[in-house]
Amino acid sequence: MRLGVCGWPVAHSRSPQMHNAALAQLGLTQWRYQRLPLPPHLFEATVRALPQAGFRGVNVTIPHKEAALQLADEATETAKAIGAANTLTFENGVIHADNTDATGFLTSLKTSAYDKTALVLGAGGSARAVIYALKQAGVDELRIWNRTEAKAHALAEEFNATVSDETADIIVNCTSVGLHDPGDTFKELPLSADELGAGCTVVDMVYRHGGTLLLNAAKANGAEVVDGLEILVAQGAASLERWTGRTAPDQAMREAVADIAT
Ligand code: NDP
């Protein structure tokens, strides 16, 4: 059985190491997970051909998540509400779409979002999944900030949130700030390190070897922190369970991705 991740580019993805470690741990020796670099114009035709090539399913990443939902024959309510899919499963001639980014985020949060305030930074694909998840978890007040403000307004209207950079109980960085130049984090985001203290949960979707500047500052100030790698593992575990019907060995998956330096 074959699995994979479709993206453009996809060379940086840690999903193959993570899933192949999980498949080995489960003793699924006939299964293999691989990178599938696909430019947008080849995405749909290639995905439709995958079942015949022995694929059980694929993860989908930038820039194909919306197209993945559109080509699917059926989709979960979560994928439909987010407007994007990161997991496709091929079943009896049917393409099924799900979005495990939302589940992965909530599983990793380790604190209840119920009745809390939340500030989401960013208005791209991962922000949509996080906003949907926080709403599902019963967050009391949701604030959205984005560099391009019009996108924050559009999301706020869609998800009944407010456009604001006021700090909150739960702060989630869904921008790519910190990925390339960690030193710029507190210049580019409307946060100061001293706002991130005890009683606050700080989540960074971005992951870096040794932790991001944002998470390291939050941790030093006594905040609860959730690393982007945890979310990567949790979304991957949910996808793997969908394809194999087995409980994902999340510790083996965590170790496989933690070993890779960026
Ligand atoms: P998108 O491209 O959809 O969105 C990018 C977001 O980052 C936009 O809101 C954009 O703002 C903002 N942004 C980019 N550069 C800057 C900057 N210099 N200053 C302020 N804001 C900026 O990406 P995704 O939402 O898919 O991913 C965001 C990050 O999350 C990526 O780094 C990705 O690697 C990570 N990620 C991690 C996952 C995990 O499992 N841990 C899963 C998915 C993503 P604007 O609208 O103004 O351009």
As annotated, the residues of the chain forming the CATH 3.40.50.10860 domain(s) are 2-98+230-258
How many Å lie between the centroid of ligand 1 and the Cα of residue 174?
Answer: 5
Task: Classify domain 2-98+230-258 at the CATH topology level.
Answer: Rossmann fold (3.40.50)
pLDDT per position as a tens digit, 10-41: 998 999 999 999 999 999 999 999 999 999 99
Q: Please list the residue range(s) of the chain that carry CATH number 3.40.50.720.
A: 103-226
Give the residue ranges of the chain where pLDDT is below 50. Answer: none
CB contact at 8 A, 96 and 89: yes
Task: Indicate if ligand 1 lies below 6 Å from the C-beta of 179.
Answer: yes
- Cα 127 to middle of ligand 1, angstroms: 8
- Ligand 1 atom having least distance to the Cα of 228: 41
Structurally, what CATH architecture does the domain formed by 103-226 represent? Answer: 3-Layer(aba) Sandwich (3.40)
Read off the DSSP letter of residue 36: E
Query: Mutation test of ligand 1: which of 119, 147, 175 has the most ligand atoms closer than 8 Å to its C-beta?
Result: 175
Active site residue 80: no
Residues 56-99: tens digit of each pLDDT: 999 999 999 999 999 999 999 999 999 999 999 999 999 999 99
| 134 neighbors 203 (Cβ within 8 angstroms) | no
CA-to-CA distance for 106 and 122, rounded, in angstroms? 18
